Copies of this chain bind each other. A is one copy, B any other.
């Protein structure tokens, strides 16, 4: 398994607390960009609220991957409040730390509320998230945080030979959004970007299967413009990379905030399907991940 993917799977980044993953990415990009086909301009840091933008050549298309994950905030009386929509089933192991020290505890549900079993109180507002356990063979990868480490990884790999385009690593996708409006304004006002692709994970369903390629979403709770979808599908066909088409009534992505922005930017979700979303056991196909990288490489250059 690729070292980069393993490294980013080990970093915690509950929505609102993306500074560590953002710093790691920035370090990685600064080290690697000289080996990339084109070395991008970088926009990042405190003034960007931990978001990262990479601008390659003369961009027409922007691709977005969110850096945050679901998790929990500690409340009072051993209660936990969810960040995003984590699934806890019969109980899950969580990790984090407060000013007293490191924390490892079980989260379980009781009468509609979530509690932890840590023997001492946890400071108010402390963020906890799934304990990581990566299981991988040559075909499948199971771990927490595939959502959206896989999207981030795919875009980082696409950076290697990208000549023109914008790559964005965003915050807050899992919990209410709010970074995208700023990012969308920034890329539209500075580069007049008109095409947006969202690299994220989706679900295995009755129409979406492992090893059939990345997923082009024809709609979720929001609906991309038909003319843009047709252009995506034609270009994807020309790429020769296998892909699957998804139709969902519910769910959403950073595409929602592109749709609702005051700029005429088209958008489409192109991601990877997994089982057990928002659990510590998210599971995806490595072949699909490889094809997702290929498809992004082609689309970023040819849309």
Contact string, A118-155, partner B, CB cutoff 8 A, digits 1/0? 00000011010000000000000000000000000000
- Interface-facing stretch out of A24-32, A158-166, A174-182: A174-182
Give the total of A residues in contact with B, Cβ under 8 Å: 55
A contact face: mostly helix, strand, loop, or mixed: loop
Residue A242 lies at the interface, judged by CB distance under 8 Å to chain B: no
Question: Out of B47, B81, B182, B262, which one reaches A219, CB within 8 Å?
Answer: B81
Establish whether residues A223 and B15, one from each chain, have CB atoms under 8 Å apart when the complex forms: yes
- Interface-facing stretch out of A70-78, A102-110, A295-303: A70-78
Establish whether residues B181 and A223, one from each chain, have CB atoms under 8 Å apart when the complex forms: no
Contact string, A2-41, partner B, CB cutoff 8 A, digits 1/0? 0000000000000111010000000000000000000000
How many angstroms between the C-alpha atoms of A263 and B47 in the bound complex? 10
Establish whether residues B125 and A76, one from each chain, have CB atoms under 8 Å apart when the complex forms: no
Residue A197 lies at the interface, judged by CB distance under 8 Å to chain B: no
- Interface-facing stretch out of A54-62, A245-253, A269-277, A286-294: A245-253
| Closest B residue to A51 using CB positions | B264
| Closest B residue to A16 using CB positions | B223
- Closest chain-B Cβ to A12's Cβ sits at a distance in Å of 11
Establish whether residues B223 and A176, one from each chain, have CB atoms under 8 Å apart when the complex forms: yes
- Closest chain-B Cβ to A181's Cβ sits at a distance in Å of 4
Residue A82 lies at the interface, judged by CB distance under 8 Å to chain B: yes
| Closest B residue to A224 using CB positions | B16
Work out how many copies of this chain go into the complex.
3
| Closest B residue to A125 using CB positions | B218
How many angstroms between the C-alpha atoms of A61 and B289 in the bound complex? 44
- Closest chain-B Cβ to A18's Cβ sits at a distance in Å of 9
Establish whether residues A16 and B175, one from each chain, have CB atoms under 8 Å apart when the complex forms: no
Establish whether residues B48 and A223, one from each chain, have CB atoms under 8 Å apart when the complex forms: no
Establish whether residues A178 and B260, one from each chain, have CB atoms under 8 Å apart when the complex forms: yes
Given A76-B247, A81-B248, A226-B17, is A262 in contact with B207 using a C-beta cutoff of 8 Å?
A: no
Establish whether residues B125 and A229, one from each chain, have CB atoms under 8 Å apart when the complex forms: yes
How many angstroms between the C-alpha atoms of A181 and B182 in the bound complex? 13
How many angstroms between the C-alpha atoms of A19 and B225 in the bound complex? 10
Taking CB atoms, residues of chain B closer than 8 Å to A223 are 15-16, 73, 83, 172, 175-176
Establish whether residues B177 and A260, one from each chain, have CB atoms under 8 Å apart when the complex forms: yes
Establish whether residues A127 and B76, one from each chain, have CB atoms under 8 Å apart when the complex forms: no
Q: List 16 A-B contacts (CB under 8 A).
A: A16-B219, A16-B226, A49-B266, A76-B205, A76-B207, A124-B218, A124-B245, A125-B218, A125-B219, A127-B226, A175-B223, A176-B222, A176-B223, A178-B261, A261-B262, A262-B262
**Those 4 A-B pairs whose CB atoms lie nearest each other, nearest first:** A76-B207, A125-B218, A181-B262, A178-B259
Residues of A within 8 A of B (CB): 15-17, 19, 46-50, 73-77, 81-83, 124-125, 127, 172, 175-178, 181-182, 184-185, 205-207, 218-219, 221-227, 229, 245-249, 256, 259-264, 266
